[in-house]
Amino acid sequence: MRTIPKPQEGEYPPYAIMYIKLIPDDGQVLQHMHDNFIAAKQLIYSLPEETLYHRYAEGKWSIKQVLVHILDDERIFAYRALRFARGEQQNLIGFDQDAYAALSNADERDLDNIFEEYEAVRRSTIALFNGLPEDSLRRMGKGTGSFNGATVRALAYHIAGHEQHHINLIKELYLGR
């Protein structure tokens, strides 16, 4: 898979450092996406069914909702990467992750169905970044609100780090590991 150097400060919104710092500096962000999908799938399938509906606190998402949130976020950020890579000059707005989660009906979905979608989205994301022109990776796009813009390569690291962040939370807060 393609090597994509880690973005520098200023290539992403300040909040995104929490995700980007979770990914090694070796440029292998796409390989990490591939490997982390496999690790996440193994982890989740190792859990008893009832654990998938667990919420570690009042008002928090279930593990199934977290998985679908990872998918929603990845789709949105891959779409942003495509638009920025193609030179989009329009500001892209953020999204209300809580509204998305509430309307996802994730807890009613079969786990196999969630992972079928997860794999399809992940393969699509990796293919997108593998196929982008080299000069597009440092192209900066604009946004509004908390998402005030990023380079294309920063969005790859956001996607990978966001997933890693949530898998870490599942292990720590949901599973006590």
- Residue 8 maps to a domain: no
On the 0-12 / 13-18 / 19+ scale of CB atoms within 10 A, 135 is exposed
- Report the chain's C-alpha Rg in angstroms: 16
Structural domains in the chain (count): 1
pLDDT in tens, 86-133: 999 888 888 899 999 999 999 999 999 999 999 999 999 999 999 999
- Residue 6 maps to a domain: no
pLDDT in tens, 49-84: 999 999 999 999 999 999 999 999 999 999 999 999
In which domain, by residue range, is 37 found? 14-174
Mean per-residue pLDDT, 135-141: 96
- Residue 167 maps to a domain: yes
User: What CATH number corresponds to the domain at position 160?
Assistant: 1.20.120.450
Rounded Cα distance, 101 and 121, in Å: 17
- Residue 89 maps to a domain: yes
Mean per-residue pLDDT, 34-41: 98
